[in-house]
Amino acid sequence: MSERVVMVTGALAGIGRATATAFARQGAAVVVSGRRDEEGKAFAAELRELGADAEYIRADVSIEDDVRALVDGTVKTFGQLDVAVNNAGFTGSRGPLVSQTLEAYNAVFDINVRGMFFSLKHELRVMTEQGFGSIINLSSTFGERGGPGAALYSASKHAVNGFTRSAALEVAARGIRVNAVAPGPVATGGLDRFAGGDRALRGTTGGNPIHDRKTHFLFPIEVGAAHRETIHGGVVEWRHIDGRNDVFGEHASGCLAQRYGVTTLN
């Protein structure tokens, strides 16, 4: 994949960082994006030390002009856009729905929903002209199931799934694939902030209090590897911390690569 050009939003930490690193190790040219310029430039330099062509372009995905500039900047720098990983997201603060405010709603939906809309719009604009491309959207198991205290986040990820399925149908005949990866709990700073340090909550994917489930966590680098395999049409493999593997999904568009069993394996 030495000639692949990959763009990753929300690339400066967690899943996004692991995904960008996985692509760089495979020889792709990588554009990383985020809102912290010094960190972004430093991360791009780290990827170049791995032997990859890499650039940082600042973008707030909730601002359409930023997203347009990010996509156009990627094409200007590397000539095309083969793969887009829409990872930028925000969990918000957990709590009962009745306690949530309009400000809290906007904070989550501005990034997770409006940002997804802008990203897909401009990525597909370029990929449609090219006649090829692959898009991976970051969803969540919360996008198919609810969770107590997670109404805003869950609703935003349901929207991601809707965007994914609809966009895939629109562009499938044009040689473009649109898929989503929907992980369960992943050991990131975002999950820690959302869970407030509650390990039991960090192990939930749907918050079903009826079942006593054994918790398994994924590491960001493992999710990043799953993105890499999904994008290139191979079989997706998730490796749990305890070494167990699960395989799912291949050669598809409009699918959700989901791992509900992250918290249910015994």
Say yes or no to pLDDT of 68 above 70.
yes
Catalytically annotated residues:
153
236: which 2 tokens? 């997706």
| CATH at residue 70 | 3.40.50.720
pLDDT for residue 194: 55
Q: Note down the domain range covering 97.
A: 5-263
150: which 2 tokens? 């997670």
Say yes or no to pLDDT of 45 above 80.
yes
Reported as type and span, the H/E element at residue 119 is helix 115-130
Give the contacts of 84 (CB within 8 A, at least 6 positions apart): 6, 7, 8, 9, 71, 119, 123, 127, 133, 134, 135, 136
What does the pLDDT look like over 84-126, one tens digit per residue?
Answer: 999 999 989 889 999 999 999 999 999 999 999 999 999 999 9
What does the pLDDT look like over 127-172, one tens digit per residue?
Answer: 999 999 999 999 988 888 888 888 999 999 999 999 999 999 999 9
pLDDT for residue 189: 52
Strand-pairing partners, residue 55, are 31
Q: In total, how many domains does the chain have?
A: 1
pLDDT for residue 219: 40
Mean pLDDT for the chain overall: 77
> Where residue 244 falls among pLDDT bands split at 50, 70, 90?
very low
Q: Is 216 exposed, middle or buried (0-12, 13-18, 19+ CB in 10 A)?
A: buried
Report d(CA 29, CA 264) in Å as an integer: 37
> Where residue 192 falls among pLDDT bands split at 50, 70, 90?
low
- At 35 the three-state DSSP class reads coil
pLDDT for residue 144: 84
pLDDT for residue 214: 36
